[in-house]
Amino acid sequence: MRVKLAITQPYVPAYRFPLWDGVIATLQDDGIDARIFFGGDAEQLAIRARRGDGVEAPWAEQVAARTVQVTPRLPKLIYRSLPAEWSNAPLLTEMQGSNGNAWSALARRRPYVTFGHGKEYTSEPGRVSVALESMLNRRATHVLTYLPSGRDEVLRRTRLQDDEVTSFNNSTDTRALRQALSDATPEVVDAFRELHGIPASARVALFLGALNEHKRIDLLVDAAREVLSGDSPWWLVVVGDGPEMSRVQMLARETGRVTLLGQSAPTQYAPAARISEVIINPGRIGLVAVDALAMQLPVVTTDFDRHAPEAEYLAEGTTMFTASATPAALASMWTKAHLGTEIDPATAPNLEVSVSTISSVLRKVVLS
């Protein structure tokens, strides 16, 4: 007899598709039918529209969501309406104190697993939010966190047992990237250089990610003006798009040493990775840390902002170099910090391990 597992999420971003696809396929083989139900209030829908990275999937469907304000002192609850045949299934849901589905599962004594960071990495923790989240975690059947540091914080806040909280070591699917890097032969790299006018003698830096305020594109541009000035041998390749694109386009016109690839697939930017010496990421580091390790490139960043949990995959002085958040300091670190760095790609986190870890936890919860 097959059993069901309901999963709630705000939406399915493109980078999350391989993880969920792997988890749901693995559970399917175990006789568990899992399905994602996504949706949000007007604020969440607006954020999703701005990001523009939502994808459709055969195992996901949008459902109505409503908000409930229990009291002005507490955050509003967001509740996603599940179809009747899924309403009593075990639940995998977001680790948030405002999660109405989690509170409903708790009230109905329905098995549920929380899924999230486990601690605040990029903002100061709010006392009420932490208390509500910890209450949900304490009563959950199991807790899944992105990284071990989040797991440690959940254990500290809740006094749960070690075997009740699991880190799945968050990752992206780097299989396509690793294959693209393997396929980037010297001939492919030479063709890339010729196409974009990058001299064979050029030293190349790479930016990979969204062009938004969190990435401090203003600081990237100001530092690049210093690095690319005069007879500098440096060249900058920018992979990504976003609201700050006009700044980078102006830099390209001014210097003539910036290649803009836009939003690109690994097959398109792998040749750039092959000829690059370093990734420049002056703002927040997130899952780019995973790609950096797969590409065997160190990351130069600044102390401007708090990083997402995935920055913990990098080690200061070997795979990450942090400068003060000024153009001069970033420019200096850009040109010298990475010299002689050797990175073992085997240190990169693995999506297959993440899928296996999550699936194993859910299998035990659903089938127990």
As for how many domains the chain has, the answer is 2
Round to the nearest angstrom and report the end-to-end CA distance of the chain: 14
How does pLDDT run across 63-84, given as a tens digit for each residue? 999 988 777 777 889 999 999 9
Structural domain for 146, as ranges: 3-171+351-367
Same domain, yes or no: 189 and 129: no
Same domain, yes or no: 104 and 56: yes
Q: What is the pLDDT of residue 94?
A: 97
Same domain, yes or no: 343 and 355: no
Same domain, yes or no: 312 and 355: no
Residue 60: both structure tokens together:
């996901």
Q: Which residues contact 198 (CB under 8 A, 6 or more apart)?
A: 192, 204, 235, 237, 259, 275
Same domain, yes or no: 162 and 240: no
pLDDT at 305 exceeding the cut of 90: no
Q: Which residue has the higher pLDDT, 104 or 345?
A: 104
Same domain, yes or no: 108 and 42: yes
Same domain, yes or no: 156 and 208: no
Beta bridge partners of 54: 13
pLDDT at 43 exceeding the cut of 70: yes
Same domain, yes or no: 151 and 9: yes
pLDDT at 340 exceeding the cut of 70: no
Same domain, yes or no: 194 and 224: yes
Separation between Cα atoms, residue 141 and residue 210, nearest integer Å = 36
Same domain, yes or no: 157 and 94: yes
pLDDT at 334 exceeding the cut of 80: yes
How does pLDDT run across 248-293, given as a tens digit for each residue? 999 999 999 999 999 899 999 999 999 999 999 999 999 999 999 9
Return mean pLDDT, the chain: 94
Same domain, yes or no: 98 and 227: no
Q: What is the pLDDT of residue 337?
A: 63
Q: What is the pLDDT of residue 339?
A: 66
pLDDT at 11 exceeding the cut of 70: yes
Same domain, yes or no: 261 and 359: no
**CATH number of the structural domain spanning residue 231:** 3.40.50.2000
pLDDT at 58 exceeding the cut of 70: yes
74-80: long-range contacts (C-beta < 8 A, 24 or more apart)? 74/128, 74/132, 75/128, 75/129, 75/132, 76/41, 77/103, 78/40, 78/41, 78/44, 79/104, 80/8, 80/37, 80/38, 80/39
